[in-house]
């Protein structure tokens, strides 16, 4: 989210700089070369730039010796980055089987994949990837039986596939496309407008958009979007993002003429999302405050010229997701007085709370979302972290259930109340995402697009177990592997987790994970607290002062896998990204004895300073802030960077990050890796893989995903003492696609 193993020369990086800088880089480079040569012995790591920085947190002095690495563009930092990459890739290139893993990943990735269609103006729009295309391509067709027409191919926008489609909205008549592009994985977007019939772009250009989509008015004359002010030069990738504003762009006019619809000069952290209702009569403004699962709802009557913005829900007490409306009646999914969520109706003509009506009451399962299609509500529930889809009439009466192929994840069910059909995708650990068309009146599903099976699902098995965490809470865990494995403690196992921000980790197909299982690996997902698997209470049980529950849950999962003979410490690896990277960092610093290897990716590792960069302030709803004394006392206890202990034997670790990550800035990973390398007293390698021209993960080209996946598994093959002989040989059929050898 790859070819980053390039050792960039001094002149290319810095131009004609001082001899001192050149000497510094030479020292870094020589250190890396020496380290790579001794990788089988005790690794000599590049010396990271250090300083005597100490900060005072409410009377507690905290050292930050690697503060200089917060500036990734300084000559010292660039030298260290370059040397670390040289060391890491030198280590990886020596691993027997790495090329074979990459070859198998490439073969397995080479299958057609489709996105869920949407319908606008009688036209269908969907994405498709032929297999190894770096970015999926957008198509449209007037009929599902006709050959689709090319709409937008992001692969033509850059030579290496690092420009990605990051957002889009299609006008009501299906003739105009507003689309956002991001480069090198950045959260920043530029929006453009394409005429769908001619395939040509118009002159419209919208810049400095972040965390926003676009929403057309039904007359097709323009769209709403949100943006930030242009950042100061040099601050684009690390400066804090405050004072988002909601604008209306009129087609054919410069951005400087865009109309400011709403802003709050008194609330720098408020963020605005403006969406036009399906009937075109209202713009719904959802106001959020960081990642807090509470929001406000304002609206604007688009039938009234210069009508006011009306504050419908103006208290920060719950989450309200707009579903649809019938005239002045607005439907919302909310966790107000319902921690697992329900559907309510609010008549904006009588907005007082006493007049609110419950349509679908809370159930035992967490309600994740509601779609309104064909005169019905499609309610998506999670039952022990797997999808269940139930239908209801607009009066809330149960109308049935959508039959799914098995234990997995389903998503989609978009459309309008007047539509007769909807589409959804279904996937599981061994079932690639398949797109289904659902006939609303008949209540029947049919396959729209099904990818070619690159594995035999019957060769694998998935089970869900429940184990006790430290405080006795039961935690679900999915375990998937080849059938017939022996529970003798010798299976290489990869345990994955996230545990934050109300995000649920559900079954899904991953080529990378399938290849891991082909090699004899066990893949496990622990649905720990902090996520949304069981609603608000589950999320609240793993945030702020209760964040330690997440780490206890994950540690207990590792202990369960060992106790039940799936694996053992020398064969157990843990991994996670972003908040999951924090999870891994905290767990290896709290229990370094428990794991054989760790793969923390783009993690939040400095819990005392995360809020000082880009959108980091928004995460204080889950983490708290070191600016608060009580929060600081909790954060300092588990912050991965601050709990690394000198002269400690840590598991083999490969940190991964990207130099263009403007969400979790790479300084987190830089400082953590430098500190871990300095403290590790054991023989296990501590490496950092720093991707170039990539960001936090979104929009990463297929080639980079394959490269990074190969490096992750190669690292585990080496450090968990595996072999790759179990990989299934593949041949090519006449179409050039990879095909499994039949037994």
| Distance, CA of 66 to CA of 71 (rounded, Å) | 10
User: Is the domain of 588 the same as that of 666?
Assistant: yes
User: Is the domain of 472 the same as that of 412?
Assistant: no
Across 536-546, average pLDDT = 97
| Distance, CA of 11 to CA of 14 (rounded, Å) | 5
Which H or E run includes 10? Answer: helix 10-14
Domain-embedded: residue 163: no
399, 433, 451 - which closes a domain? 451
Residue 210: is its pLDDT beyond 60? yes
Backbone angles phi, psi at 27, to 5 degrees: -65, -45
* Residue 498 or 726, more confident: 498
pLDDT of residue 164: 83
Residue 586: is its pLDDT beyond 60? yes
Domain-embedded: residue 665: yes
pLDDT of residue 238: 65
Domain-embedded: residue 728: no
Distance of CA 369 to the CA centre of its chain: 18
pLDDT of residue 305: 83
User: Is the domain of 424 the same as that of 510?
Assistant: no
pLDDT of residue 41: 55
**Among the ranges 31-35, 36-40, 136-140, which has the highest mean pLDDT value?**
136-140
User: Is the domain of 558 the same as that of 693?
Assistant: yes
* Residue 604 or 11, more confident: 604
Burial of 487 (0-12, 13-18, 19+ CB in 10 A): exposed
pLDDT of residue 211: 83
Residue 28: is its pLDDT beyond 90? no
| CA-closest candidate to residue 348, choices 314, 321, 307, 312 | 312
Residue 17: is its pLDDT beyond 60? no
Residue 20: pLDDT band with limits 50, 70, 90: very low
pLDDT of residue 40: 45
User: Is the domain of 509 the same as that of 387?
Assistant: no
| Distance, CA of 132 to CA of 383 (rounded, Å) | 34
pLDDT of residue 22: 29
pLDDT of residue 728: 61
* Residue 291 or 583, more confident: 583
CATH code for position 678: 3.40.50.1820
Residue 698: pLDDT band with limits 50, 70, 90: low
Q: Which two tokens stand for residue 207?
A: 């810049």
pLDDT of residue 2: 29
CB neighbours (10 Å) of residue 465?
16
Domain-embedded: residue 67: no
Across 291-298, average pLDDT = 94
Residue 740: pLDDT band with limits 50, 70, 90: very low
Q: What is the pLDDT of residues 389-415, one digit of tens each?
A: 999 999 999 999 999 999 999 999 999
User: Is the domain of 431 the same as that of 515?
Assistant: no
pLDDT of residue 732: 36
The three-point CA angle 558-562-567 to 5° equals 105
| Distance, CA of 665 to CA of 605 (rounded, Å) | 10
Residue 695: pLDDT band with limits 50, 70, 90: low
Task: Indicate the pairing of strand 444-449 with strand 431-439.
Answer: antiparallel
pLDDT of residue 663: 76
Across 697-702, average pLDDT = 72
Which H or E run includes 719? Answer: helix 702-719
User: Is the domain of 493 the same as that of 432?
Assistant: no
**Any idea which of 9-13, 247-251, 468-472 has the lowest mean pLDDT?**
9-13
Residue 175: pLDDT band with limits 50, 70, 90: very high
451, 471, 496 - which closes a domain? 451
pLDDT of residue 51: 97
Across 549-578, average pLDDT = 98
| Distance, CA of 513 to CA of 59 (rounded, Å) | 47
Q: For 569, which DSSP code?
A: G
User: Is the domain of 544 the same as that of 632?
Assistant: yes
Backbone angles phi, psi at 44, to 5 degrees: -95, 115
Across 141-160, average pLDDT = 93
Q: Which two tokens stand for residue 682?
A: 């054991």
**Any idea which of 151-160, 233-242, 586-595 has the lowest mean pLDDT?**
233-242
Residue 443: pLDDT band with limits 50, 70, 90: very high
Among residues 578, 621, 625, 639, the one annotated as catalytic is: 578
| Distance, CA of 611 to CA of 109 (rounded, Å) | 37
Q: Is 696 tagged catalytic?
A: yes
422, 451, 480 - which closes a domain? 451
pLDDT of residue 4: 30
Across 138-147, average pLDDT = 94
pLDDT of residue 161: 79
**Any idea which of 326-330, 537-541, 576-580, 663-667 has the lowest mean pLDDT?**
663-667
**Any idea which of 328-342, 417-431, 647-661 has the lowest mean pLDDT?**
647-661
Max Cα distance, the chain (Å)? 77
Residue 382: is its pLDDT beyond 60? yes
Instruction: Name the average pLDDT for the chain.
Output: 90
Across 684-706, average pLDDT = 81
| Distance, CA of 523 to CA of 42 (rounded, Å) | 30
Domain-embedded: residue 127: no
| CA-closest candidate to residue 644, choices 66, 57, 39 | 66
Residue 33: pLDDT band with limits 50, 70, 90: very low
Which H or E run includes 34? Answer: helix 19-37
User: Is the domain of 447 the same as that of 467?
Assistant: no
Across 691-707, average pLDDT = 75
Domain-embedded: residue 580: yes
Residue 730: is its pLDDT beyond 50? no
User: Is the domain of 447 the same as that of 590?
Assistant: no
**Any idea which of 150-159, 494-503, 514-523 has the lowest mean pLDDT?**
150-159
User: Is the domain of 403 the same as that of 491?
Assistant: no
Among residues 504, 696, 703, 711, the one annotated as catalytic is: 696
Domain-embedded: residue 128: no
Percentage of residues in the chain with pLDDT exceeding 90? 81
Residue 21: is its pLDDT beyond 80? no
Residue 742: is its pLDDT beyond 80? no
Q: What is the pLDDT of residues 71-103, one digit of tens each?
A: 988 999 999 999 999 999 999 999 999 999 999
Q: Is 158 tagged catalytic?
A: no
CB neighbours (10 Å) of residue 623?
24
Residue 166: is its pLDDT beyond 80? yes
pLDDT of residue 626: 98
Query: How many structural domains are present in the chain?
Result: 2
pLDDT of residue 50: 96
User: Is the domain of 412 the same as that of 523?
Assistant: no
pLDDT of residue 31: 36
Q: Which two tokens stand for residue 314?
A: 């103006």
Across 528-544, average pLDDT = 97
Residue 735: is its pLDDT beyond 70? no
Domain of residue 368, residue span: 363-451
pLDDT of residue 727: 77
Among residues 606, 622, 661, 662, the one annotated as catalytic is: 661
End-to-end CA separation in angstroms for the chain: 36
Q: Which two tokens stand for residue 111?
A: 């299958």
pLDDT of residue 696: 55
Q: Is 445 tagged catalytic?
A: no
Domain-embedded: residue 516: yes
* Residue 275 or 187, more confident: 275
The pTM of this model reads 0.88
pLDDT of residue 700: 78
pLDDT of residue 509: 96
Residue 30: is its pLDDT beyond 70? no
Residue whose entry in the numeric block shows the structure tokens 């970015």 = 135
């Amino acid at each position: 989210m790859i070819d980053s193993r390039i050792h960039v020369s001094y002149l290319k990086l810095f131009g004609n700089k001082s001899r001192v800088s050149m000497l510094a880089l030479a020292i870094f480079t020589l250190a890396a070369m020496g380290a790579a040569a001794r990788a089988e012995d005790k690794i000599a790591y590049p010396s990271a730039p250090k300083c005597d920085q100490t900060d005072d947190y409410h009377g507690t002095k905290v050292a930050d010796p690697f503060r200089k690495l917060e500036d990734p563009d300084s000559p010292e930092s660039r030298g260290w980055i370059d040397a670390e990459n040289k060391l890491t890739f030198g280590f990886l290139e020596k691993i027997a089987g790495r090329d074979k893993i990459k070859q198998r990943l490439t073969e397995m990735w080479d299958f057609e994949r489709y996105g869920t269609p949407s319908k606008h103006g009688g036209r269908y729009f969907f994405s498709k990837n032929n297999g190894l295309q770096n970015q999926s391509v957008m198509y449209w067709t007037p009929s599902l039986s006709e050959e689709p027409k090319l709409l937008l191919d992001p692969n033509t926008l850059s030579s290496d596939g690092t420009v990605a489609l990051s957002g889009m909205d299609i006008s009501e008549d299906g003739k105009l496309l507003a689309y956002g592009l991001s480069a090198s994985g950045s959260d920043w977007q530029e929006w453009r407008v394409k005429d769908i019939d001619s395939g040509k772009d118009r002159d419209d250009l919208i810049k400095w958009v972040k965390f926003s989509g676009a929403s057309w008015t039904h007359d097709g004359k323009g769209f709403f979007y949100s943006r930030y002010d242009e950042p100061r030069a040099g601050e684009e990738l690390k400066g804090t993002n405050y004072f988002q504003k909601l604008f209306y762009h009129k087609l054919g006019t410069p951005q400087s003429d865009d109309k400011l619809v709403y802003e709050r000069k008194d609330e720098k952290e408020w963020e605005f999302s403006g969406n036009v209702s399906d009937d075109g009569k209202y713009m719904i403004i959802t106001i959020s405050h960081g990642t807090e699962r509470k929001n406000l709802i304002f609206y604007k009557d688009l039938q009234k010229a210069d009508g006011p913005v009306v504050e419908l829900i103006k208290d920060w007490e719950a989450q309200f997701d707009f579903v649809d409306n019938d005239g002045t009646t607005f439907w919302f999914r909310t966790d107000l007085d319902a921690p697992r969520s329900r559907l309510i109706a609010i008549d904006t003509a009588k907005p007082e709370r006493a007049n609110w009506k419950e349509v679908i009451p809370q159930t035992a399962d967490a309600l994740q979302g509601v779609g309104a299609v064909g005169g019905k509500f499609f309610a998506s529930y999670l039952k022990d972290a797997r999808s269940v889809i139930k239908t209801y009439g607009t009066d809330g009466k149960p109308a049935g259930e959508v039959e799914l192929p098995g234990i997995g994840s389903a998503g989609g069910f978009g459309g309008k109340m007047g539509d007769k059909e909807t589409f959804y995708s279904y996937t599981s650990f061994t079932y690639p995402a398949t797109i289904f068309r659902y006939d609303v009146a008949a209540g029947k599903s049919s396959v729209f697009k099904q990818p070619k099976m690159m594995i035999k699902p019957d060769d694998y098995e998935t089970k869900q177990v429940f184990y006790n965490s430290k405080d006795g809470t039961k935690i679900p865990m999915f375990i998937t592997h080849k059938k017939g494995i022996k529970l003798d403690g010798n299976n290489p196992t990869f345990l994955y987790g996230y545990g934050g921000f109300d995000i649920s980790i559900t079954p899904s197909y991953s080529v990378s994970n399938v290849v891991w299982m082909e090699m004899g690996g066990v893949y496990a997902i622990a649905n720990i607290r902090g996520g949304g698997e069981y609603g608000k209470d589950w999320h609240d049980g793993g945030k702020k002062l209760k964040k330690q529950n997440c780490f206890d849950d994950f540690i207990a999962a590792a202990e369960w896998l060992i106790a039940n003979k799936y694996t053992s410490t020398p064969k157990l690896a843990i991994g996670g990204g972003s908040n999951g990277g924090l999870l891994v960092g905290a767990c290896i610093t709290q229990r370094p004895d428990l794991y054989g290897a760790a793969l923390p990716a783009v993690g939040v590792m400095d819990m005392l300073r995360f809020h000082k960069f880009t959108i980091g302030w928004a995460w204080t709803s889950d983490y708290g802030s070191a600016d608060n004394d009580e929060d600081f006392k909790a954060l300092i206890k588990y912050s991965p960077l601050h709990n690394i202990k000198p002269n400690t034997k840590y598991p083999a670790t490969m940190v991964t990050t990207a130099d263009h990550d403007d969400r979790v800035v790479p300084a987190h990973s830089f400082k953590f890796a430098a500190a871990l390398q300095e403290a590790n007293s054991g023989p296990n390698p501590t490496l950092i893989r720093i991707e170039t021209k990539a960001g936090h993960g979104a929009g990463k080209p297929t080639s980079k995903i394959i490269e990074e996946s190969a490096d992750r598994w190669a690292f585990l093959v080496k450090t968990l003492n595996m072999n790759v002989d179990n990989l299934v040989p593949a041949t090519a059929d006449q179409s050039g696609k990879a095909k499994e050898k039949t037994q």
